[in-house]
Structure 1
Amino acid sequence: MTKTFLASAIVIMLAAGGVAAQEMDHTAMTAQGETAVPAQAITATLGSLKISDGYLKAMIPGQPIGGGFVTITNNGPVEDKLIAISSPRATRAELHEMVMQGTIMKMRKIPDGFVIASGATLKMEPGGYHLMFMGVQMPFKANQTVPVTLTFEKAGKLELAMPVVTIRGR
């Protein structure tokens, strides 16, 4: 009964959009219990960008949202920016961060993308920056891969088959 109510409430908040969707409880998706990068995390390169430690977390049944993480290192002479993400498994995908407001952790969309300066590394991890997938009809399940496209301002698009790990990150 509680799961059904929670799932229904999340669907209503997503349908309403705006602030309601941004203030959802993403505790399970961003749980910090396991901080080590899973062994099956993906690594790839695109021009001077190195993408490593890429993975998605398994979703809670009945919830239409999922999250993922990557580390991006810019080995090039100029900055680049991750401006968009997409997946055929989600009706919408966005770049987000979790922030503490008092004692409450809230999610916030980053509409302008993540800048990766020359020589810098951007690390996405539970409780911080992350990839957010909404309107997921078939939940991400552990031991699957999900097609994800990262779009960079200068380097272009990179298509990945991101592995899905358990909610605890294993």
Structure 2
Amino acid sequence: MKILAIAAALFIAAPAVAHDLTVGDLQIIHPHIPQPAPGAKSAGGYMAIVNNGAEADRLVGVETDIAGKAEVHESKVAADGVGTMEHVEALEIPAGGTVSLERGGYHVMLMGLTGTLTEGEMHKATLIFEKAGRVEIEFQIDPPMMGMGQMDHSKMDHSKMDHSHMDHSTMGHDGAGD
């Protein structure tokens, strides 16, 4: 299990320095946010969650002061190339397993950023698990994702998302919306 955790940390952390936290049976590896573009209203939060316990747990919520709203979302791209993003009520963390929150899959969607996020900063958040309860973490602001450009929302199916709180004019492919 340790080898899997180390591999996940190396994959997620590159090129930044990884940090992690162990609470009970859960290990949270390198919670981070790629620095969003100046003026961005949203960003994506990423990490790996390792469950070393004998029972599954579920991530059921996220709280932070750096955004008006934080939710677990899943991005998918259908065979026809249409991308969707959906709010996930609960994310299963299987016993003895690892779930990676990463670009293009599950992630923490931070909507309505309350300020500028600058590379190198640490920002507090709380992950809420069904069994483990409230786990305090710190998101590290990592370097911006390279070469992502602006997100093409013309191919996104937004029908399953409530976008009343989002400003798409500033959403870049910097981890936001992924």
Query: TM (normalized to structure 1)?
Result: 0.73
Structure 1 segments of 4 or more deviating over 6 A?
none
Residue in structure 2 matched with residue 136 of structure 1 by the alignment: 113
In 1, Cα distance between equivalents of 2:128 and 2:81: 34
**Is residue 66–residue 140 contact of structure 1 (8 Å, CA) maintained in 2?**
no
**Is 2:55 the partner of 1:50?**
no
In 1, Cα distance between equivalents of 2:12 and 2:69: 28
**Is 2:59 the partner of 1:68?**
no
From 108, 122, 129, the counterpart of 1:145: 122
In 2, Cα distance between equivalents of 1:163 and 1:148: 11
Cα offsets for 1:29-50 (capped at 9, x unmatched): xxxxxx6523323200111011
Residue in structure 2 matched with residue 31 of structure 1 by the alignment: none
In 2, Cα distance between equivalents of 1:130 and 1:36: 12
Residue in structure 1 matched with residue 173 of structure 2 by the alignment: none
Query: TM (normalized to structure 2)?
Result: 0.70
In 2, Cα distance between equivalents of 1:145 and 1:85: 16
Classify 1:160/1:36 alpha carbon distance in 2 versus 1 (closer, same or farther; 3 Å).
Answer: closer
In 1, Cα distance between equivalents of 2:13 and 2:77: 23
**Is residue 67–residue 111 contact of structure 2 (8 Å, CA) maintained in 1?**
yes
Q: Which runs of 5+ in 2 are unaligned?
A: 1-10, 147-178
Q: Which runs of 5+ in 1 are unaligned?
A: 1-34
Residue in structure 2 matched with residue 105 of structure 1 by the alignment: 83
Amino acid at match of 1:78: E
In 1, Cα distance between equivalents of 2:145 and 2:124: 21
**Is residue 12–residue 48 contact of structure 2 (8 Å, CA) maintained in 1?**
no
Cα offsets for 1:122-152 (capped at 9, x unmatched): 0111111111111112022211111111111
From 142, 151, 157, the counterpart of 1:165: 142
Residue in structure 1 matched with residue 95 of structure 2 by the alignment: 118
**Is residue 81–residue 114 contact of structure 1 (8 Å, CA) maintained in 2?**
yes
From 81, 88, 91, the counterpart of 2:68: 91
From 75, 79, 90, the counterpart of 2:56: 79
SS at match of 1:91: strand
Amino acid at match of 2:130: E
Over the residues paired in the alignment, what is the CA RMSD in angstroms? 1.5
